Structure 1
Amino acid sequence: MEESFPFHSTFTDFLLHLLGLLFFLLDVGLDVWTVVSFYQDGAYGYMAVMIFLLLGSSMLLQVFSWLWYSGNLDHLESRVEKFVNRHKLIKPFHFMQLGVYLRYAGVVDISTYRFSQQTDSFYEGVAVYLSHDLQMLRLIETFSESAPQLTLMISIIAHSGELTPITGIKSLGSAVAIAYSVVMYHRSMRAFLPDKRLMGLTSSFVYFLWNLVLIITRVTALALFSSVLPCYIVTHFISVWMLLVLGVWSQKTNYMENRYWEWLYRATVGLIWYFSWFNVAEGSTKIKNIVYYVIMGLDTMMLLGLWCWKTVDQAGCLNHFDPYIVIPVLLGLYVFGIGLKMTYHRYLHPNCVELVIAEPHERLEMGREPACYEETDSASSGFQVISPEAPPPASPAQPITGVNKRMRTMAANFYS
């Protein structure tokens, strides 16, 4: 039987990782420029909020990155990570907020080695394994830094009525970071498909579009509310976030190795849910999606309603944003985004009931690839096998831990 690795990585994926690193460095440069510009303009309040978002997000990423590294130090594959670990530098790297750069270096190193040496599929799978945690970290960064930053920038524009170069460029940069992260996460999940054509460029584009439309709608509503009631946005966030964390807890998540650190993951998912939906449990997602988008829709309408009330009450102060135009446009975009999401899940999103994922550092003989299923309207079964014909192989006897567990968990959740 031919030895193979059940993941696939292309040269396009490698180039996208390099592009992702470029965007990451560009975003860091824009962050520094923004902080300096706020300082020069005397906007110390905005500068403090910006620094808080940057430091809070960076510390959160380093904690997750270190926790994932600490349970996998004996199975590092890239030369860069092995060198850093051999000299006991992984913890100092994370202390200096450089953990994400180390992961980028590992992905680039193993991908370059694979393509330059034309090695077997084992290194192709390792490239996917290394990039998985990196894409999860970038997704966390998107909603702990980029989305709040975009909210801040739009709030500044709404409050001042002026689109300055710094607010315009930073808003565009945050929007690009959000869009790129969700698409890269989408592509990282494609690695688990036995036939990648099931999720092609059209699927990625629609996935990108509905996420961008819904996130922009949510962020704009938060920004408009913050522009007239800045003291209440923190109260709103804490109140909604606590309810969302309880919602994540009710899903009985099992993502982290330690049950205490699982609460950090749940708190982080609650932060993501504050801006966008993120599936954290297997099983049917239809009811969960309906409940989530109804609640978020009502909350968004409340935010817009309070903004409209304050705008009308302060006639003339914010007349550059007409609430009777802005509110219908945003609500229309919200409905449009939900329609795109329904279209994506109806026609473009394959559903895998069970994924059997091998250890990334071992060459395993795979008799067949994991079975993927397409959701149907059948009341009897609810799923129809589309590839392959045979049922999926049995799960391995040994418990799945570490990155392998995270990969399997996220893939199963994504394809639910």
Structure 2
Amino acid sequence: MEESFPFKYSLLEYLFTLLGLVCFLVDIALDIWTVVSFYQDGAYVYMTVMIVLLLGSSVLLQVFSWLWYSDSLETNLETKVEEFANRHILIKPLHFLQLGVYLRYAGVIEISTTRFLQKTNSFTEGVAVYLNHDLQMLRLFEAFSESAPQLIIMICRILQSGELELNTGLKILSSAAAIAFTVAMYHRNMRSFLQEKRKMSWLSTGVYFLWNLLLIIPRVTALALFCSVLPCYIIAHFLSLWMLLVLGVWSQKTDHMESPGWEWLYRATIGLIWYFSWFNVSTGNIKLKTIVYYSVMGLDTMMLLGFWCWKVFEYTGCWSSLNPYVVIPTLLGFHVAGILLKIIYYRWFHPNCDEQKIAKPVEQPNIRQGAAFYNMATDSLESDTVDATLAQPVTAVLKRGRNMAANFF
């Protein structure tokens, strides 16, 4: 596929791409270390839950990655590493071996390195945007299917073992920051779909990161506190609320996947994200949907903290350093501060844009390659120059990117 605009890549963005790969590898090493630590401490229940989370999250990512690759295997894959894997029929085996995400990272790194070092347009921006968008979305799925539940387990384990110290508190904060950073990087990737507002300042990204962090901390902490005193009820709480959230996603009439059956997997995954944080999946009255979501989740968080406060006085150990009359107002204060900062972000920093101004992909015949390529009709003038008789249905990768950009902006 080709795109009608060049791939512009700064040093900072290139470094963030490399940092993402490094963090991904470090995260795997830390996961293995955590499982081994639970085994050495005799915490077999925690170890089992961790293994289930790791395997479940990995399988989820590989399924989505394979489905999205399947949508584009009939067209020419742009990167050499992907072409090599496809030519030798390795894409499906790599995903079966839980290595599909590494293949995507290799493709993004190849494009980024080629453009940054050679300073040429060997790859157009459309190629990089869509490859990076799918990779960032997989990282987002991983953050809420693996990292957020792991953080709850870590906090719960610390509370029950009475090892609440400064260094453990810093570990918890850094883990929450990593989740918020993943969310911020995904939404920063969305800026590439705006032709007239490509520059999203790092200040706006910082504000976006901060309000997500302020909202994720109280939510995850409340779940961990509830789990620490009523561990048998956390699964019932998750399933009941998650099913309600999935129905909420279904009511938005999402159309992200090619198959209606796989669309339900996408809705189930979004429901999992909503269990921890808001993620817009449709256009329409976003303010009303946001108000309803935060009202429901705010009440749920207060309910979790209320149950913890009710049961906490039956416990000893590290609980002596946790005064509910201090913890609960502090967490609610974080939540309110996050809401206020989110309002500030959308009032002054969010690059609002009419949906019609988001780059629209149009498929046209390419005589030189004997295959199809895609032009971006970015404004009304360019749209008038596109022959409507040549337009064909857009591919799934283009539809996914544009739909998510329309939801975000």
TM above 0.5, one fold?
yes
Question: Which stretch of the first structure deviates more once superposed, 335-344 or 182-191?
Answer: 182-191
C-alpha separation between the residues in 2 aligned to 1:187 and 1:356? Answer: 16
Shift in alpha-carbon separation, 1:179–1:363, aligned structure 2, 3 A? same
Shift in alpha-carbon separation, 1:48–1:257, aligned structure 2, 3 A? same
Give the deviation of 1:236 after TM superposition. 0.2
| Contact kept in structure 1, 2:151 and 2:220, CA below 8 Å | yes
Shift in alpha-carbon separation, 1:170–1:53, aligned structure 2, 3 A? farther
C-alpha separation between the residues in 1 aligned to 2:79 and 2:63? Answer: 21
Give the deviation of 1:156 after TM superposition. 1.3
- The equivalences for 1:188-337 within 5 A come to 188-196=189-197, 199-314=200-315, 318-337=319-338
Matched residue, 1:393:
383
- Report the 3-state secondary structure (helix = DSSP H, G, I; strand = E; otherwise coil) of the residue aligned with 2:319: coil
Q: Which amino acid in structure 1 is aligned with residue 69 of structure 2?
A: Y
- Report the 3-state secondary structure (helix = DSSP H, G, I; strand = E; otherwise coil) of the residue aligned with 1:75: coil
Question: Which stretch of the first structure deviates more once superposed, 8-17 or 231-240?
Answer: 8-17
Matched residue, 1:28:
28
Q: Which amino acid in structure 1 is aligned with residue 383 of structure 2?
A: P
Matched residue, 1:98:
99
2:361 aligns with one of 344, 349, 358: 358
Question: Which stretch of the first structure deviates more once superposed, 399-408 or 269-278?
Answer: 399-408
C-alpha separation between the residues in 2 aligned to 1:197 and 1:357? Answer: 15
Matched residue, 2:114:
113
- The equivalences for 1:163-202 within 5 A come to 163=164, 171=172, 174-196=175-197, 199-202=200-203
C-alpha separation between the residues in 1 aligned to 2:320 and 2:261? Answer: 49
Q: Which amino acid in structure 1 is aligned with residue 13 of structure 2?
A: D
Q: Which amino acid in structure 1 is aligned with residue 56 of structure 2?
A: G
Give the deviation of 1:113 after TM superposition. 1.7
Matched residue, 1:339:
340
Matched residue, 2:44:
44
Give the deviation of 1:176 after TM superposition. 3.9
Q: Deviations over 1:41-70 (max 9, x none)?
A: 111011001111100100000000000001
Give the deviation of 1:194 after TM superposition. 2.5
Q: Which amino acid in structure 2 is aligned with residue 48 of structure 1?
A: T
- Whether 2:398 is the aligned partner of 1:404: answer yes
C-alpha separation between the residues in 2 aligned to 1:37 and 1:306? Answer: 30
| Contact kept in structure 2, 1:9 and 1:125, CA below 8 Å | no
C-alpha separation between the residues in 2 aligned to 1:180 and 1:104? Answer: 18
Shift in alpha-carbon separation, 1:124–1:413, aligned structure 2, 3 A? same
| Contact kept in structure 2, 1:157 and 1:163, CA below 8 Å | yes
- TM-score, normalised to structure 2, is 0.90
Shift in alpha-carbon separation, 1:173–1:330, aligned structure 2, 3 A? closer
C-alpha separation between the residues in 2 aligned to 1:198 and 1:87? Answer: 39
Matched residue, 1:146:
147
Matched residue, 1:161:
162
Shift in alpha-carbon separation, 1:176–1:30, aligned structure 2, 3 A? farther
| Contact kept in structure 2, 1:245 and 1:270, CA below 8 Å | yes
- Report the 3-state secondary structure (helix = DSSP H, G, I; strand = E; otherwise coil) of the residue aligned with 1:234: helix
More helix per residue: 2
| Contact kept in structure 2, 1:189 and 1:414, CA below 8 Å | yes
- Report the 3-state secondary structure (helix = DSSP H, G, I; strand = E; otherwise coil) of the residue aligned with 1:199: coil
Give the deviation of 1:216 after TM superposition. 1.0
Give the deviation of 1:14 after TM superposition. 1.9
- Report the 3-state secondary structure (helix = DSSP H, G, I; strand = E; otherwise coil) of the residue aligned with 2:114: helix
Give the deviation of 1:169 after TM superposition. 7.5
Give the deviation of 1:175 after TM superposition. 2.4
Q: Which amino acid in structure 2 is aligned with residue 101 of structure 1?
A: Y
C-alpha separation between the residues in 1 aligned to 2:329 and 2:53? Answer: 31
Q: Deviations over 1:377-397 (max 9, x none)?
A: xxxxxxxxxxxxx68837974
Q: Which amino acid in structure 2 is aligned with residue 356 of structure 1?
A: A
Identity %: 65
- Report the 3-state secondary structure (helix = DSSP H, G, I; strand = E; otherwise coil) of the residue aligned with 1:27: helix
Shift in alpha-carbon separation, 1:101–1:170, aligned structure 2, 3 A? farther
| Contact kept in structure 2, 1:34 and 1:170, CA below 8 Å | no
Give the deviation of 1:71 after TM superposition. 1.2
Give the deviation of 1:173 after TM superposition. 5.3
Question: Which stretch of the first structure deviates more once superposed, 343-352 or 356-365?
Answer: 356-365
Matched residue, 2:366:
none
Question: Which stretch of the first structure deviates more once superposed, 278-287 or 265-274?
Answer: 278-287
- Report the 3-state secondary structure (helix = DSSP H, G, I; strand = E; otherwise coil) of the residue aligned with 1:220: helix
Matched residue, 2:368:
none
Q: Deviations over 1:194-238 (max 9, x none)?
A: 244652111100100011110111000000000000000000000
Matched residue, 1:128:
129
